[in-house]
Structure 1
Amino acid sequence: MSAATLSTGLQAVAALLVLLIVFAGLRRSPKVAVFVWLFVICFVPIWIGQTVVAYFPAFVIVSLLAAISLLPTVSRVRWSVADGIFVAVAIVVVAEYAVGLTTRSGTFDLVVNWGSAFLLGRIVTAVLDPRWIYSAIAVFFSVVAALALAEFALGTNPFTTLLANNTASYALWGGLQPRGTILRAEGAFGHSIALGSSLGVAAAMTMGSRFRPWLRTAMLGLIVGGAVVSFSRTGMITAGLGIVLACLFLREPLSRRYRTTMLIAALAAAAAVFITIQDVFLASGDEAEGSALYRSELLQLIGYIRPLGLAANFTVSTNAQVSIGEFGSVDNALLLFGLTFGWIPSVLVLLMLVVAAGYLLRRRATPAVIAVLAQSPALVTVAFITQYAAVFWFAAGLAVSTQVLANTTAGRRSTPKPLPVGAALVSSAA
């Protein structure tokens, strides 16, 4: 046995032992599982991971371990039509890959990366109060936002210095992005839009937390501030939209007075932010304008979507570079989903968003459902990149689980209690 082979074997054994230790810790408590998952999502960049056949970022590894650790609770979960739709999409995509209609990387992303986060969000409410989960998200993303503000003020990102390495993933995501003359904050998320959009998810969740109104408001201020210094229009819009939708449609746990006050404050803050940062976007000139133009030009790809599988103009060059038509990347999650898997799976996903919108309009939506709907602008302006993909699909799983719980509770409240035998006889005689 060569020294290189022995070293590789020892590394594999060490990695397996670490995974077993982490898994044992996650099994001890669902709260520990959520805390560890949030910590890795928020503070471990995508370039920290391990390649085993495919590349597994640290947050994907923890998503898988956390979801598996909670599998014994599956018997307590109330399943819904939405679960059936997600499983149907996964089966269709796997079948597409089996017959060569889609890519291995796309299938891996949906089944493993997104699927593990969705499953974790779907089953965790069987053992934890949703409001505790919202509160945990509020705490972690308040810290993320505070670090983003510090990054902006100091002009340095510790995650690209202290946690830098020479992997291909770092080369892809490790560079910082300017907007005009200002360096955009991105935290550990590898991209300013991923940071801003993730904070947008957290904003709506924070509205459902169990903290006192003043503390909740302070956390929201931090989260919105973090989205602002990302200088991502998508991040700022989704954060504001999440708060506004919660003020308009979320009945519990917010009082009418608090919702009215927050709505006025959110609109005033939006106006102040627009006035403050408009010079930055004007200074960025062609960069910001070109970004918007590029996203509008992507719409021409809709005509190439097939019922199933890859788009008609999907090509792979000799050096493994993927392109769709003249575009080397597609910053539109819904469009890219259709171009990769076809319009049939896309319609199923859109159907879930339509149903969620119905709950919102009837004022029955949970904070997680509102968080997902508030991401609508992001779904057409950014792909599922870095940790944002896991944050979004965890929120989607949490949206399904909390809405099922809310519907069950509402059904119990609306079901009349059975009358005593004597009263029932009197009632029937009358």
Structure 2
Amino acid sequence: MSGVTSRWVVTGACWALAGLLIGWSLWTGTITFLIAIACGGLLFASFWGRPRFALVVWLLSLVMVPIWISIHLFATVPFHCIIAVMAIVATISRTRPKITTFDVYFLISWIISVAAVFFGGSSAGLSAAILLRWGIHYFAARVLVSATGVRFVVDVIAILFGVVGVLATLELLLAWHPYAQWSFGSISEFEIWRTVLTREGRDRSTWAFGHSIALGGSLALAIPFILRSSYSAFVRGVLLVSVLAGIVSTASRSAELAAVLTIVICALYVVKIRILRTGILAVGTVAMLVVSLAVGDRLQAWARGNSAEEQSSYEYRREMYANYLPTVKWLGKSPIYNPTKISIDSAFLDMGLGFGWVLLIIAVIPLALSVFRVITGSASFAEIAIVGQIPLFATVALINQYASIVFIVAGIAVQIIVDRQNQPVGDPLDANSFPPTHAMAP
């Protein structure tokens, strides 16, 4: 089959698939169904041979479309997952990223989750979500970033999340919640995530993320990308202020702590001599632990908060580990695990309760390696973004778009490692120090 013929066969198949999926979700009659087929086909055709455009549309679908805009197959499939699949198919025929140990490691993790379903009573829906909501976006990042280059995606993420930060701030100032009435899609998820959260009598921004912590965590992930972007110092400063204002508008203490931790690590990476940077990071880590012990009461008071809602949330999280951790099995679902009835405010604990110690340990190993690389001064900015999220991983489950964006950043981190192996001289963008070098010639 010739290249042109295969292109049109794949294009036609994906037109039909995309149209059927989108038409199913928006079904109100024959005309709407036909229009959906045409729109899905045109969107896919526009992706073909244009990986940069596909990447931008995919990221826009993540940050501008709520999680409940979706279809239900064997599991609920959000709209941004459909866009991700279309982008992968349209790009991978021309750009096939090198398969790495990290990619295999993720697939093994998912296979273990499937084993937990068959042998430990874990939820098949949650196992499917690992592949659909995490895996698709991880592999989309691997494929699209391989095609567009790390430099391009860094600049796109910096701009997009700067805009989201501004919109989140306006949402707070104007008490404007544009997605609260978007009821089409998954009604069950709409009812869960449409609620406008409040703290101390004021609304908390959620934008399209369904929860203020998901928004705050996603914005904090973007900080190293902003600092590493190729824009001028003034533009980077404006974007950083926009993101920080958006984080404040969520009133999420975990997101605020993650932002501070991320900025501190980035600031230490300004030191360009690696051995000196490693020494500062090691001493700083020890000093932080000592200070934490010395002012533990004050930190506890801040974490506990002032309002009854904050204090209740703090006490629940403090007791959660003591009550639930002993029930984690080696493989499979804990007897007390029922996410529809109890809220597990910890990504670590949620994974352990849902699938067992085996999958939890497998998930923690890459994070521990990233922490080691940060301390030794060899981490990329994407790894710094992930490590900065540890306060959130300990206090909130991987929910909504936040989970997808975490795995996108993980995919970018892997791509940076691949690029370094392929370019021994190194790309200035991928250097470990901050701020970026502006000799950005390809």
Bin the TM-score by the shorter chain.
Answer: 0.7 to 0.9
Contact 2:55 2:87 in 1 (8 A): yes
Find the counterpart in structure 2 of residue 81 from structure 1.
Answer: 101
Which one of 101, 112, 130 corresponds to residue 110 of structure 1?
130
In the alignment, residue 247 of structure 1 is paired with which amino acid?
A
Distance 1:336 1:281, change over 3 A: closer
| Pairwise CA distance, 1:172 | 0.9
| Pairwise CA distance, 1:190 | 1.1
Find the counterpart in structure 2 of residue 344 from structure 1.
Answer: 358
Distance 1:340 1:411, change over 3 A: farther
In structure 1, how many angstroms separate the alpha carbons of the residues matched to 2:362 and 2:403? 19
| Pairwise CA distance, 1:410 | 4.3
Matches within 5 A, 1:179-328: 179-249=199-269, 285-300=307-322, 301-314=324-337, 322-323=340-341, 328=342
In structure 2, how many angstroms separate the alpha carbons of the residues matched to 1:126 and 1:109? 24
Find the counterpart in structure 1 of residue 91 from structure 2.
Answer: 70
Find the counterpart in structure 2 of residue 52 from structure 1.
Answer: 73
Contact 2:304 2:314 in 1 (8 A): no
In structure 1, how many angstroms separate the alpha carbons of the residues matched to 2:124 and 2:134? 14
Q: Does 1:97 align with 2:117?
A: yes
Query: Is the deviation greater in 66-75 or in 171-180?
Result: 66-75
Distance 1:209 1:101, change over 3 A: same
In the alignment, residue 401 of structure 2 is paired with which amino acid?
Q
In the alignment, residue 152 of structure 2 is paired with which amino acid?
W
In structure 2, how many angstroms separate the alpha carbons of the residues matched to 1:345 and 1:251? 37
Which one of 359, 363, 370 corresponds to residue 356 of structure 1?
370
| Pairwise CA distance, 1:97 | 2.6
In structure 2, how many angstroms separate the alpha carbons of the residues matched to 1:251 and 1:130? 22
SS in structure 2 opposite 1:242?
A: helix
SS in structure 1 opposite 2:77?
A: strand
Distance 1:346 1:279, change over 3 A: closer
Structural RMSD (CA): 2.8
Q: TM-score, normalised by structure 1?
A: 0.80
SS in structure 2 opposite 1:308?
A: coil
In structure 2, how many angstroms separate the alpha carbons of the residues matched to 1:74 and 1:94? 30
Contact 2:114 2:124 in 1 (8 A): no
Distance 1:100 1:137, change over 3 A: same
In the alignment, residue 145 of structure 1 is paired with which amino acid?
G
In structure 2, how many angstroms separate the alpha carbons of the residues matched to 1:411 and 1:174? 49
Find the counterpart in structure 2 of residue 404 from structure 1.
Answer: 418
SS in structure 2 opposite 1:56?
A: strand
| Pairwise CA distance, 1:20 | 2.8
SS in structure 2 opposite 1:314?
A: coil
In the alignment, residue 311 of structure 1 is paired with which amino acid?
S
Find the counterpart in structure 2 of residue 428 from structure 1.
Answer: none
Percent identity between the two aligned chains: 27
In structure 2, how many angstroms separate the alpha carbons of the residues matched to 1:48 and 1:102? 26
| Pairwise CA distance, 1:12 | 5.7
Distance 1:361 1:46, change over 3 A: same
| Pairwise CA distance, 1:124 | 2.3
SS in structure 2 opposite 1:59?
A: helix
Query: Is the deviation greater in 7-16 or in 44-53?
Result: 7-16
Query: Is the deviation greater in 194-203 or in 9-18?
Result: 9-18
Find the counterpart in structure 2 of residue 35 from structure 1.
Answer: 56
| Pairwise CA distance, 1:99 | 4.4
Query: Is the deviation greater in 355-364 or in 129-138?
Result: 355-364
SS in structure 1 opposite 2:395?
A: coil
Instruction: State which structure, 1 or 2, has the greater radius of gyration over its C-alpha atoms.
Output: 1
Distance 1:404 1:188, change over 3 A: same
Distance 1:69 1:294, change over 3 A: farther
Which one of 146, 149, 161 corresponds to residue 166 of structure 2?
146
| Pairwise CA distance, 1:10 | 6.9
| Pairwise CA distance, 1:229 | 1.0
| Pairwise CA distance, 1:375 | 0.8
In structure 1, how many angstroms separate the alpha carbons of the residues matched to 2:264 and 2:421? 23
In structure 2, how many angstroms separate the alpha carbons of the residues matched to 1:383 and 1:287? 19
In structure 1, how many angstroms separate the alpha carbons of the residues matched to 2:148 and 2:63? 21
Contact 1:152 1:229 in 2 (8 A): yes
In the alignment, residue 236 of structure 1 is paired with which amino acid?
E
Contact 2:328 2:353 in 1 (8 A): yes
In the alignment, residue 335 of structure 2 is paired with which amino acid?
A
Find the counterpart in structure 2 of residue 19 from structure 1.
Answer: 40
What does the per-residue CA deviation read over 1:194-226, in whole Å, with 9 as the maximum and x for residues that have no partner? 110110111122121111112111100110011
Contact 2:116 2:331 in 1 (8 A): yes
What does the per-residue CA deviation read over 1:28-70, in whole Å, with 9 as the maximum and x for residues that have no partner? 3111111101211111111222223432221222222223333
In structure 1, how many angstroms separate the alpha carbons of the residues matched to 2:305 and 2:124? 41
Find the counterpart in structure 2 of residue 131 from structure 1.
Answer: 151
In the alignment, residue 298 of structure 1 is paired with which amino acid?
M
* Number of residue equivalences: 373
Distance 1:225 1:54, change over 3 A: same
Larger RCO of the pair (alpha carbons < 8 Å, separation 6+) = 1
| Pairwise CA distance, 1:364 | 2.1
| Pairwise CA distance, 1:74 | 5.6
| Pairwise CA distance, 1:80 | 3.0
In structure 2, how many angstroms separate the alpha carbons of the residues matched to 1:102 and 1:342? 9
What does the per-residue CA deviation read over 1:377-429, in whole Å, with 9 as the maximum and x for residues that have no partner? 1111111111111111111111121123234434889xxxxxxxxxxxxxxxx
In structure 2, how many angstroms separate the alpha carbons of the residues matched to 1:78 and 1:279? 46
What does the per-residue CA deviation read over 1:309-348, in whole Å, with 9 as the maximum and x for residues that have no partner? 1113335xxxxx744xxxx120111111111111112111
In the alignment, residue 27 of structure 1 is paired with which amino acid?
W
| Pairwise CA distance, 1:374 | 0.8
| Pairwise CA distance, 1:112 | 1.1
